[in-house]
Structure 1
Amino acid sequence: MKQSENILDVAALKPDYLGFIFYERSPRNFSGEIPDIDPTIKKTGVFVDEEIDFVLEKVIKHKFRAIQLHGKESAEYCKKLRSELSNKSSVELIKVFSVKETFNFEEFKAYEGIVDFFLFDTQGKNKGGNGITFNWDLLKAYPSATPFFLSGGIGEDELQKIAELYTYFEKSNKSHLLYGVDVNSKFELEAGLKDANTLKIFKDKLGLETHI
């Protein structure tokens, strides 16, 4: 999110999370002030290999309740950030992993017990917002107890596939692992400007298909 009026329009849909990117190379890079929104919405700061002090500064300034790490942040970095965050407030920590044709689940073992959630996005030329999906069947071999967000090129055309994946986890008594769906580029009129109407349609249909 970037523009105040658009932020308010999307916040009116009561999403669980609302993201703000702090990465100068992104066309969605956020600057300025976030307008007052429903406090039940978790304002989320998105960072890419940033200094911890910079992250903490933004957490305090914008009262973020979640942090999404979209770079090559190590488990040690996450552990240090977790320690610093615990001294300030209760902030969820989300670590992003990029997926292409295959994925080595050993990659995130070091992060277990440190972060609250994983997020699986499609590996592409950009740090997110590539508008393409990866092979979600890979997640059927998900070995972790850490809940995850599904991301990467998700739009209305993916609703049926989301429902099928959710049903797979539900039948395995693991529906809690597919914690949420992260949407972005397929709902944009331009970088950082979301179409609130199409988002509402998607959100309503997603609620009918799953419990996410």
Structure 2
Amino acid sequence: MTVSVKICGLSTEDTLEAAIGAGADYVGLVFFPRSPRHVSLDRAASLAEAARGRIAIVALTVDADNALLEAIRERVAPDFLQLHGHEGVERVADIRRRVGARVIKAVKVGSPADIEAARIFEPAADIVLFDAPPPRAGDALPGGNGVSFDWTWLATAQPRPDFMLSGGLDPDNVRLAIATSGARSVDVSSGVERAPGVKDPDLVARFVRAAKHLEQVAAPAAEEDRHEPR
């Protein structure tokens, strides 16, 4: 099985080139001011221009208004919009029509019931992404927190097979996550950083190689530690 890899929260040319050079399939640009990975429209436009035609470009937004979505469409022209807020199914469908890009809808998974409830998005979204909720209620960041959920829930629920898995992934646990969940696509952000918002090109390359089974990696964590925050 070929696994697709998304490296999210890029902000520099060197980490963009690291992701492309390693063989990643998507790069994510974050438009959320409270995130340490936030990029301006100018910065995003420059990175998108360097990436275009070489890798799929994803613009991540959180409950964005139409003005921001239009600006992203005009300046960045992403291949995908990743909706990481509280967008309902009607809003997801509206954004997909309005922007003319494919849509990744992120869903927070705190229990198996959340996976079942996410089926409502399958007609409106091109990809449903399953992520862990923030570690504490009220945390400012909807993603990129370095925490995971129980991957066996996905294997049991069997959502649409093209789902994407995120949350707490890193080069050392991604292969276990794929084997446990059955994911064909994975998304990483904090797990390939040396500091919040600062991607490490070596970790990016290790993650891609591990996810795509191109190298041997360290033995997986013990069962009881598998879902500990990273």
Structure 2 residue 92 is matched with structure 1 residue 115: no
The alignment partner of 2:188 has SS state of coil
Provide the alpha-carbon RMSD of the alignment.
2.2
**SS of 1:57 mapped into structure 2:** helix
Question: Residue deviations 1:138-187, cap 9 Å, x none?
Answer: 10233433621110010122134224226xx4xxxxxxxx3311011011
Contact kept, 8 Å, 1:17 with 1:43, in 2: the verdict is yes
1:23 to 25, 28, 32: 32
Amino acid paired to 1:24 = P
User: Which structure is higher in RCO with an 8 Å CA cutoff and minimum separation 6?
Assistant: 2
Q: 2:148: which partner in 1?
A: 133
Query: 93-102 or 115-124, which moves further after superposition?
Result: 93-102
TM-score, structure 2 as length reference:
0.77
In structure 2, the residue matched to 1:58 is 72
Q: Alpha carbons of 1:140 and 1:146: their partners in 2 closer, same or farther (altered >3 Å)?
A: closer
Q: Equivalent of 1:205, from 207, 210, 213?
A: 210
Compute the TM-score of the two structures, normalised by the length of structure 1: 0.83
Aligned residues: 196
What CA distance in whole angstroms lies between the structure 1 residues aligned with 2:160 and 2:112? Answer: 20
Relative to structure 2, which stretch is displaced further, 67-76 or 124-133?
Answer: 124-133
Q: Which runs of 4+ in 1 moved over 6 A?
A: none
- Residues 119 and 151 in structure 1, CA contact (< 8 A), matched pair in contact too: yes
Note the residue ranges of structure 1 that are not aligned, 5 or more in a row.
170-177
Is residue 151 of structure 1 aligned with residue 172 of structure 2? no
- Which runs of 5 or more residues in structure 2 are unaligned? 1-9, 215-230
Equivalence for 1:11: 20
The one-character-per-residue Cα deviations of 1:77-129 (angstroms, maximum 9, x if unpaired) are 0111122134xxxx220000111244333422332211101101111132111
